[in-house]
Structure 1
Amino acid sequence: MFYWLMKYVVIGPALKAIFRPWIVGRRNIPAEGPAILASNHLSFADSVFLPLMIDRRMAFLAKSDYFTGKGLRGWATRMFLKATGQIPIDRTGGKASEASLNTGLRVLGRGELLGIYPEGTRSPDGKLYRGRTGIARMALEAHVPVVPVVMVDTDTIQPIGKRIPRIGRVGIVIGEPLDFSRFAGMESDRYILRSVTDEITLALQRLGEQEYEDVYASTVKDRLLASRAQSGAPARR
C-alpha cells in the first residue's frame, strides 16, 4: 500500500509533471512473471524514473550507503528509496556479493521484476562499460528473461556529485527480452557467464548507441580518483 500511494498518489505525479519523462518500448516488459530489467547507469535518477514509468512493481538492488543517512534528511531519503522499490545491499564483494545475488533471486522467486545495472556502478563519463557477470548468473539460476533498458539524459539532470537534480526531460528506451534458456544448467561455467553478460551489454550498446569501452567502470573511477588525488582535486564518487 505504501509503495502504491507513493508511486501513484504522492511522488509519481509530481515527478512526471516536473520532468515530463518519456518511454519507448513499454510493451517489451512481460505483463506477468519474473524478469530482469538490465539498465545502463548514468545517474542516481535512473533508479527513480524507471520504476515510475512502468506499470508493474519492480525492485532495484541499491547500494546500502544510500540508506544510512542521519537525521530528518536521512529518514526522508530512506522513505523515498523504499517508495521507489529499492533494496539495500552490501557491494563490497566476497560474501556480500553472494548475499546480493540471493536477495535478487528471492525477488525473482516471488515473480517480480528486478532492476540491475550490469556495469555495477554509475558510468563516470557517459560511456557504457564492461558488465559484471552477476546478472548472467542470476538470469540462468532463476530461468528468467533479461530486458535491456537504456536511460536517456538522466546524467544531464543529475550528474555525479549533484544531490538536487536540475529541471530537464529524461527518457527510457526498452528493448526486446533476451532469452538465455539455451544455457540452462550452465550457471557455474564462467565462460558462459561472460558470454551471456557480453550479449546483454551488446544489446544495451545497440539500443542506446553509447560509446563502449571494454573495461570495468569501477576501474575507470579508481583511475580518476588516483588522478585527482595526485592533482589535489576533491574526490567524487
Structure 2
Amino acid sequence: MTLRGGRPSEWGTPTFELLTYEEVARYQHQPSKRPRLVVLIGSLGARLHELKQKVVAESPQHFGVAVPHTTRPRKSHEKEGVEYHFVSKQAFEAGIHHNRFLEHGEYKENLYGTSLDAIHAVMAKNKVCLVDVEPDALRQLRTSEFKPYIIFVKPAIQEKRKMPPMSPACEDIAAPLDEEQREMSASAAFIDQHYGHLVDAVLVREDLQSAYSQLRALLESLSKDTHWVPISWVR
C-alpha cells in the first residue's frame, strides 16, 4: 500500500479545503463482483453526454447510463424509462427529501435529477454504469459500494497562430485565446485545482471519435488492470 494526495477532510468553499492523505491499496476488479461505477466530470466544452451515449450505443450489452428523472410532461416520441423516468413533482420532491438523488436542478419550471436508484438499476444488470456529474457530487459517490473510477474530460484548446507584420513565416507568434477558449481554460484549471486529487484519469478531447477511443481504452484497462483505491474500499 502507499499514500497519495487525499480527499478533503472538510467540504466547503474549495479555496479553503484542507487536504489530507488517505491510505490506498491496489485493487483489481473480479468478474464475480459488480463493475465499478465510471464517473465523468468535465470542464466547459467537454460535451460529456454525447461521449457516454456513444459508448453505450457501441456496446449496450456491457455499458449503461443512469436514466434521469424529470417532472416535465412526456413527449409523444418518448418512452418511460428510456429518455427519462417521468414522475410527479410531489414524487420528485419526496425523493429529494429522502436523499435519493445524487444531484438535481430546475429548468423552465421542471425538475431534473439523477437518482441513486437509477445507478443501482444499471449495476444490478452487471453492466458498467456511466454517469456525468458536477464535481461536488463526487463526495457522495466515493464509497466502497460504488468504487468510482473518475475521469476528468477537458477540451483541447488550440492556440491560434498569427504572423506579426513584416516578419518571416517561421517567426509566427501565438494569438491570444478568444473569450470562449479563456472560459474553457479557466473551467478546466478550476476543476484540476480543486478536484484533481480525486481524479483517476484525464482525457483531453479534440473530437468525438478520438475522445471515444481514449475512453474505451480506459474502460478496458479498468476491467483488466490493477488500480489504486482507498484502502477502506477493499477492507
TM-score by length of 2: 0.37
Higher strand share: 2
Greater gyration radius = 2
TM-score (norm 1): 0.37
